[in-house]
């Protein structure tokens, strides 16, 4: 199985490709549990972490993944990049490519940027999140975490709750989950459910109470509190009353339901503290598995053959 040259999104990834990535991650996960967390797999390879948007979790996860594989990882963040001086994005990418990196990881606040850069450079690219479009490694680590807990993915029901419109995590998860045979239900106020989302093969509900009933996984999204200014919600209090995942609401859900959140969490706004701390919460498992998924992708994109670890 050869996976695509770039991972720009989960759209278009086949079931076989996703399984290949998840299987590879399983092999790499163990490395992070060792006392000496380093293998020489990517020694001498250079990975550029190009983050135009603030990020703790994702940037660190990619950096750790690269370093555990012995690659040289260079971090460039928005505030230190020369786009601050007005350099064109494409010029910057071409300049970085001229230094012969083996892989570029790109995060940007605007949709389409990773895809656009990929048309100008030959270096492989992993999209680490572009605007409201895609965040493929997040979806893959979510699938990995579900598979780890549930075994088979096919036929599971997931409910994703919150600001669907502005979430790249949702879009990547919809593509990947539909491919793997998971039923996706989206929940949020209608102001945060974008026009035509049903075309992506999902169902929509405005009631959290109803939508938790059959869910095997409930994924809560971060509420960007500044959305109040765009008339998308009335008050945080009311949002919380309607869409906060509490122990009370969880009583309606299946006993073995998994609680996910891509982070960072607004405690008490979209999810209550006791739910975060409950044994149903897999939020930190997601983070742990993120490193394994990113190690797997780096390995596969840089020419690794999955047969060697099967």
Partner 1 sequence: MTVLIKNGIVIDPANNINIANDILIIKGIIKSIEPPGKLNTNNLDNPLIIDAKGCIVCPGLIDMHVHFREPGFEYKETIESGCQSAVAGGFTSVAVMPNTNPVNDNRSVTELILSLAKSKGGIKVHPIGAITEGLAGKRLSEMADLRDAGAIAFSDDGCPVMNNELMRRAFEYSKMFNLPLIQHSEMLDLTEGGCMNEGAVSTELGLKGMPTEAEDIMVYRDIALLEKTGGRLHVAHISSGNSVDLVRHAKAKGLPVTCEVAPHHFTLTDEAVRGYDTNTKMSPPLRSIKDIEKIKEGLKDGTIDIIATDHAPHDIIDKQVEYQNACFGIVGLETALPLTLKLVDEKILSMSDAIRKLTATPAQIFNLDAGNLSIGSEADVLIFNPDIKYSIDVSKFHSKSKNSPFDGWKVKGKVLHTLARGKVIYTDPDL
Smallest gap, in angstroms, from Cβ of residue 239 to partner 1?
A: 21
| 9/304 with CB nearer partner 1 | 9
Regarding 75 and contact with partner 1 (CB under 8 A), the answer is: no
Binding residue (CB under 8 A) for partner 1 from 199, 229, 235, 310: 199
x-marked contacts with partner 1 along 148-187 as a string, rule CB under 8 A: -----------------x--x--x----------------
Regarding 130 and contact with partner 1 (CB under 8 A), the answer is: yes
Euclidean distance between CA atoms 22 and 303, whole angstroms:
17
Q: Could you write out the DSSP letters of every residue in the chain? A: ----S-B--STT--HHHHHHHHHHHHHHHGGGGSSS---STTTT-EEEEEESS--SHHHHHHHHHHHHTT-EEEEEETTTSGGGGT--HHHHHHHHHTT--SEEEEEESSTTHHHHHHTT--S-EEEEEETTTB-HHHHHHHHHHHHHHHS--TT-EEEEES--TT-HHHHHHHHHHHHTT-EEEEES-GGGS-TTGGGGS-EEES-HHHHTTT-SEEEEPPP-GGGGGGTS-S-HHHHHHHH-B-HHHHTTS-TT-EEE--S---BTTTB-HHHHHSTTB-HHHHHHHHHHHHHHHHHHHTT--GGGG-
| 193/293 with CB nearer partner 1 | 193
Binding residue (CB under 8 A) for partner 1 from 115, 191, 252, 287: 115
Footprint of partner 1 on residues 202-231 (CB under 8 A)?
none
Euclidean distance between CA atoms 15 and 247, whole angstroms:
35
Smallest gap, in angstroms, from Cβ of residue 195 to partner 1?
A: 6
Binding residue (CB under 8 A) for partner 1 from 21, 24, 65, 89: 89
Smallest gap, in angstroms, from Cβ of residue 228 to partner 1?
A: 16
Binding residue (CB under 8 A) for partner 1 from 111, 183, 228, 288: 111
Euclidean distance between CA atoms 34 and 297, whole angstroms:
20
Smallest gap, in angstroms, from Cβ of residue 120 to partner 1?
A: 9
Per CB under 8 A, the segment of 107-115, 219-227, 238-246, 270-278 that binds partner 1 is 107-115
Smallest gap, in angstroms, from Cβ of residue 20 to partner 1?
A: 25
Binding residue (CB under 8 A) for partner 1 from 14, 80, 82, 88: 88
Smallest gap, in angstroms, from Cβ of residue 105 to partner 1?
A: 18
Smallest gap, in angstroms, from Cβ of residue 161 to partner 1?
A: 18
Question: Which residues are near partner 1 by CB under 8 A?
Answer: 88-90, 108, 110-113, 115-116, 130-134, 165, 168, 171, 194-197, 199-200
């Amino acid at each position: 199985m050869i996976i695509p040259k770039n991972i720009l999104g989960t759209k278009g990834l086949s079931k076989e490709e996703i399984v290949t990535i998840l299987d590879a991650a399983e092999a790499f996960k163990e490395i992070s549990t060792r006392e000496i967390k380093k293998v020489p797999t990517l020694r001498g390879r250079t990975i550029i972490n190009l983050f135009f948007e603030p990020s703790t979790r994702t940037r660190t996860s990619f950096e750790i993944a690269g370093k555990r594989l012995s690659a040289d990882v260079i971090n460039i963040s928005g505030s230190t990049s020369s786009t601050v001086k007005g350099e064109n994005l494409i010029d910057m990418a071409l300049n970085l490519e001229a230094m012969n990196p083996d892989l570029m990881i790109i995060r940007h606040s605007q949709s389409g940027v990773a895809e656009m850069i990929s048309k100008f450079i030959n270096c492989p690219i992993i999209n680490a999140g572009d605007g409201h479009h895609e965040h493929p490694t997040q979806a893959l680590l979510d699938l990995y975490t579900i598979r780890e807990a549930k075994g088979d993915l096919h036929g599971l029901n997931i409910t994703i709750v919150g600001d669907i419109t502005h979430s790249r995590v949702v879009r990547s998860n919809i593509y990947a989950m539909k491919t793997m045979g998971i039923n996706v239900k989206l929940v949020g106020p209608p102001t945060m459910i974008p026009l035509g989302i049903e075309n992506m093969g999902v169902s929509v509900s405005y009631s959290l109470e109803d939508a938790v009933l059959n869910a095997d996984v409930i994924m809560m999204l971060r509420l960007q509190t500044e959305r109040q200014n765009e008339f998308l919600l009335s008050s945080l209090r009311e949002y919380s009353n309607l869409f906060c995942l509490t122990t009370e609401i969880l009583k309606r859900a299946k006993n073995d339901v998994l609680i996910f959140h891509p982070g960072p969490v607004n405690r008490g706004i979209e999810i209550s503290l006791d739910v975060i701390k409950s044994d149903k919460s897999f939020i930190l498992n997601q983070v742990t598995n993120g490193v394994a998924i990113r190690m797997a992708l780096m390995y596969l994109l840089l020419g690794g053959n999955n047969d060697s670890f099967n």
